[in-house]
Amino acid sequence: MKELNKAYQVLHDETARSAYDLKRRTPFAGSLTIDSAPAAREIGNYGQALSALLCLVMGLLLLFLVRFNGLWFLWPLSILALGVISFGVIISHAALSNARESLPASHPARRFRVAQEVGFWFLVGVGGYAVYVILTAI
């Protein structure tokens, strides 16, 4: 309440208000330094690969936990596990793309982008089918 009264007195009095406005208009003389953490995409190829691996492992563990412990009433966790696995696949694809882009332009691996994409999605499909076989066979 004291701060509100003080602000009212400054705004109500024309001389105090003009003095306040002049004080606010003076530029800041000090130097401004911004300290920020690097963005998530700047963690490097190994950091992205590790993040993708952790997402895939945690999603599979959660999916197998629900299936093999007979916790069928926790079926929403299976949906969550599939979401985590899908997120891991997306991060894996981003890691593959960033690793390819970090290579020099003359590197042979940069020329075979389509083959790398086909191989990646083939591995994702085979892995998904393997998880399906494990979940239905046991």
Contact call for residues 55 and 19 (beta carbons, < 8 A): no
Measured at the alpha carbon of residue 73, what is the angle toward residues 69 and 74, in degrees to the nearest 5? Answer: 75
Of residues 31 and 98, more confidently modeled: 98
What is the Cα 57 distance to its own chain's centre? 17
Each residue of 35-58: pLDDT tens digit? 666 665 567 778 888 889 999 999
Greatest mean pLDDT among 11-25, 33-47, 116-130 lies in: 116-130
pLDDT value of position 42: 67
pLDDT value of position 122: 96
- Residue-range domain boundaries for the chain: 41-137
pLDDT value of position 28: 60
- When pLDDT is cut at 50, 70 and 90, the band that residue 104 belongs to is confident
Tell me: pLDDT of 129 over 90.
Answer: yes
With b for 16 or more beta-carbon neighbours within 10 A and e for fewer, the 52-84 pattern comes to beebbeebbebbeebbeeeeeeeeeebeebeeb
Percent of the chain residues topping a pLDDT of 70: 87
Tell me: pLDDT of 137 over 80.
Answer: yes
Distance (Å, rounded) from C-alpha 38 to C-alpha 134? Answer: 40
Instruction: Give the amino acid at 3.
Output: E
Measured at the alpha carbon of residue 61, what is the angle toward residues 57 and 66, in degrees to the nearest 5? Answer: 155
Of 18-27, 37-46, 72-81, 124-133, the poorest mean pLDDT is in: 37-46
Tell me: pLDDT of 88 over 70.
Answer: yes
Closest CA to 45 of 94, 109, 107, 99: 99
**Residue indicated by tokens 């299976």:** 78
Per-residue tokens: 71: 């916790």
Of 4-13, 24-33, 119-128, the poorest mean pLDDT is in: 24-33
